[in-house]
Structure 1
Amino acid sequence: MAFSFEDPKVYKAAIDWNDNINQVLDSLGSNCSRSLRDQMERASLSIPLNIAEGNGRWHKGKKRQFFWIARGSAFECFAILQVMARRGLLSDSTVGNLYDQLAEISKMLSAFIRSVDKLKSRA
């Protein structure tokens, strides 16, 4: 059975982001603090999870709320990337690559939120 949230490009991009950041975190080994790693793992996983949960909601207000949370988690990942970069944990090219992926996800989520606003609310 296919779930409706699997189709949007933003969901697929969020899953790809999660895979990519986990590979980066694994490559850091013990150079990255456990708390910073944990925060990035949770924030990056929150993006696709909230997209999926939002798509499972009938009411557009609830959908929008979960998509806003996903967008907030993407912004949290931006901040964590900056912290990791300042600590010298990631190369400039890695940061740039990951930043570009998150920027695209954030734009897609913003468009997704706007599209939900155009839906008729279901009772």
Structure 2
Amino acid sequence: METHNFRNLKVWQLSVDFVTSVYLLTTQFPNEEKFGLISQIKRSAISIPSNIAEGSGRGSNKEFARFLSISLASSYELETQLIVANRLNFLTETIVLEITQRLHEIQKMIFSLHKKFESPISS
């Protein structure tokens, strides 16, 4: 078993910074979305670094890979919600483009890390 310190992972660090940005973005949304889209967006965003951290504390590389998969799925969910926010005119297309570019970088990093730990050689 390999121990993973999530605090040392660049992808975790970037995703925590990303969550902060997303939370600030949602302050622009209408108040009536507080328990709707805002809540969903925040949950998806915080799930990304949270699952990286939780997976790092599991007992095997296989488990870590599983939590990285969950983190990646949350990032796709968030991307969808940001597109919806744009279509509802809560966020401009420019803002969504900027934030999704950052999200795509995080997705690539999670995918690469997942491939590393999913390999039977590293289990």
Q: Normalising by structure 1, what TM-score? A: 0.89
Q: What's the counterpart of residue 49 of structure 2?
A: 48
Change (3 A) 1:89 1:103: same
Q: What's the counterpart of residue 120 of structure 1?
A: 122
Match of 2:106, as an amino acid?
I
Matched residues, percent identical?
27
Q: What stretches of structure 1 of length at least 5 have no aligned partner?
A: none
Q: What's the counterpart of residue 8 of structure 1?
A: 9
CA drift at 1:62: 0.8
Q: Normalising by structure 2, what TM-score? A: 0.89
RMSD (Å) for aligned C-alpha atoms:
1.6
Q: What stretches of structure 2 of length at least 5 have no aligned partner?
A: none
**SS of residue matched to 2:122:** coil
Quote the Cα distance in structure 2 between the aligned partners of 1:71 and 1:89: 24
CA drift at 1:92: 1.7
Quote the Cα distance in structure 2 between the aligned partners of 1:72 and 1:117: 16
**SS of residue matched to 1:90:** coil
CA drift at 1:57: 1.3
Q: How many residues align?
A: 119
The Cα offsets for residues 51-93 of structure 1, whole Å up to 9 and x where unpaired, read as 0011111212211110000000000001001100100111122
Matches within 5 A, 1:59-98: 59-98=60-99
